[in-house]
């Protein structure tokens, strides 16, 4: 019995020690030790509040600070001895603190439960991860802008159904991803404000009988406010789900971009080359250079989607308030943060290393009658109803197909067989440059519009 008392913080009412298997099954220290520094920060704020409210003595606060400073160093330099017997990060740190400073260590947990403690730690962790991620998204957007800036006049085919549709600039295509990432960053910002609420003070579930000051702890930890209901404070994991959902959207965007990079790099398409440092060779085929990084990004998107589903399912059947189920929130959350952080980090660099092949893009844009819509619009401007113009151009395309040439290669007299309204000025309209220049409105692919979009984007990034 005595030995159980020594080991376990809560074993006073137990008649037998917890089975080894159960200990290993229920312990979380192997993964929640990642929260150690946040746990220490939370404890420092809690202790400061306890002292300021006269719940612990000033001397206790001094001792706690001294002990936690030692622990922080041990955690940072890797000498802290984690023990599975002590279950989780919270009890490991508390036990060590008591070893270092005696009774003050045992007073730290006054008016607090691991339930509000862990919720606080996870929120502090996630807030910091979101801040890192916002910087990384900004870097990736900056890399997109730098590349786009050089290619407002680089013409490629725009696709629908993966069929050549209309000519666009490569810059315009890249700027579509800038917009996606802009929304992604907005979502993270928005999510951050709900992450940034303090659970501490909720204690186990009902609040505490000590005269605490939750607002003070919130302020010390930089939270925007307190969680207003103690039951909700300890049991809410919406904030983690919301973050993971925003993360899943980011990965989805990066996965789409990856798919395009892979296609563009395929020798069949040949629009771009990805710097060698992001590719690998084949162990058997000497000629190969494979786009491993974008492929892995596409693959890793699956695990983040999975984490989102895992977290939703983790919560769906839980009655109020805290249940041990919640311990399972950490690994999916940590893995989501890590996957996303690494992916964003690698991506900014990879975008910077893209080598564009404008001739291949141009050659592709010249196939597939990409300016057919321009011809129809030209006829409409001459007075033809759009449907009739569409029909006339369809016949012209069929004719060009039979001749195996482009619309722009057909002589004027021949073109006029499809509509008497066609005049000499049609060739400007049928050119790739003319097609781009004509889409001259906000959101269009005209080079001056895309340049303006890039300029606006730069201003936005500086905000």
Active site residues: 161, 282
Count of residues making up the chain: 463
Q: How far is the CB of 134 from ligand ARG (least distance, A)?
A: 26
Closer to ligand ARG by Cβ: residue 113 or 339: 113
Positive/negative CA dihedral, 104, 105, 108, 113: negative
Supply the DSSP string of 378-403, one letter for each residue.
HHHHTT--HHHHHHHHHHHHHHHHHH
d(CA 397, CA 407): 7
d(CA 67, CA 246): 38
Structure token pair of residue 294 = 């974008």
Closer to ligand ARG by Cβ: residue 176 or 204: 204
Q: How far is the CB of 32 from ligand ARG (least distance, A)?
A: 6
Positions in the binding site for ligand ARG (CB under 6 A): 28, 32, 88, 114-115, 118, 322, 324, 326-327
Do residues 29 and 114 touch, judged by C-beta distance below 8 A? no
Exposed/middle/buried for 161, CB within 10 Å: 0-12, 13-18, 19+?
A: exposed
420: nearest Cα among 383, 459, 458, 460: 383
Phi first, then psi: give them for residue 78, nearest 5 degrees.
80, 10
Phi first, then psi: give them for residue 356, nearest 5 degrees.
-90, 145
Q: How far is the CB of 223 from ligand ARG (least distance, A)?
A: 19
Closer to ligand ARG by Cβ: residue 179 or 238: 238
Q: How far is the CB of 27 from ligand ARG (least distance, A)?
A: 8
Q: How far is the CB of 26 from ligand ARG (least distance, A)?
A: 8
d(CA 215, CA 224): 9
| CA distances (Å), origin 432, targets 316, 418, 436 | 54, 21, 6
């Amino acid at each position: 019995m005595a030995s159980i008392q020594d080991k376990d913080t809560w074993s006073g009412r137990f008649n037998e020690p917890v089975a080894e298997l159960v200990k290993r099954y229920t312990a979380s220290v192997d993964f929640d030790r990642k929260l150690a520094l946040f746990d220490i920060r939370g404890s420092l704020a809690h202790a400061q509040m306890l002292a300021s409210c006269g719940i612990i003595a000033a001397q206790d606060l001094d001792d706690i600070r001294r002990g936690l400073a030692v622990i922080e160093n041990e955690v940072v330099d890797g000498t802290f001895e984690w023990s599975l017997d002590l279950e989780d990060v919270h009890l490991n740190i508390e036990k060590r603190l008591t070893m270092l400073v005696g009774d003050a260590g045992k007073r730290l947990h006054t008016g607090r439960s691991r339930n509000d403690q862990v919720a606080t730690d996870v929120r502090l962790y996630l807030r910091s991860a979101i801040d890192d991620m916002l910087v990384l998204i900004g870097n990736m957007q900056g890399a997109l802008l730098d590349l786009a800036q050089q290619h407002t006049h680089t013409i490629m085919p725009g696709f629908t159904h993966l069929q050549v549709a209309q000519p666009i600039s490569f810059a315009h295509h890249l700027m579509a991803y800038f917009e996606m990432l802009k929304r992604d960053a907005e979502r993270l910002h928005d999510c951050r404000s709900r992450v940034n609420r303090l659970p501490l003070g909720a204690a186990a579930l009902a609040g505490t009988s000590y005269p605490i000051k939750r607002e003070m702890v919130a302020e010390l930890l930089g939270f925007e406010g307190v969680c207003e209901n103690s039951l909700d404070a300890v049991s809410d994991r919406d904030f983690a789900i919301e973050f993971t959902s925003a993360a899943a959207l980011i990965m989805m965007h990066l996965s789409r971009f990856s798919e395009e990079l892979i296609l563009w790099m395929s020798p069949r398409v040949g629009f771009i080359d990805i710097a060698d440092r992001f590719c690998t060779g084949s162990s058997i085929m000497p000629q190969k250079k494979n786009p491993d990084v974008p492929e892995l990004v596409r693959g890793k998107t699956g695990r983040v989607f999975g984490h989102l589903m895992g977290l939703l399912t983790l919560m769906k059947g839980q009655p109020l308030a805290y249940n041990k189920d919640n311990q399972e929130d950490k690994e999916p959350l940590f893995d989501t943060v890590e996957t996303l952080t690494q992916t964003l980090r690698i991506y900014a660099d990879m975008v910077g290393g893209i080598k564009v092949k404008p001739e291949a893009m141009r050659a592709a844009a010249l196939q597939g009658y990409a300016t057919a819509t321009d011809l129809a619009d030209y006829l409409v401007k001459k007075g033809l109803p759009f449907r009739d113009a569409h029909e006339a151009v369809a016949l012209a395309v069929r004719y060009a197909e039979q001749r195996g040439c482009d619309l722009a290669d057909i002589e004027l007299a021949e073109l006029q067989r499809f509509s008497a309204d066609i005049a000499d000025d049609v060739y400007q309209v049928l050119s790739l440059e003319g097609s781009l220049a004509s889409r001259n409105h906000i959101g269009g692919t005209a080079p001056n519009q895309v340049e303006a979009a890039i300029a606006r984007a730069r201003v936005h990034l500086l905000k």
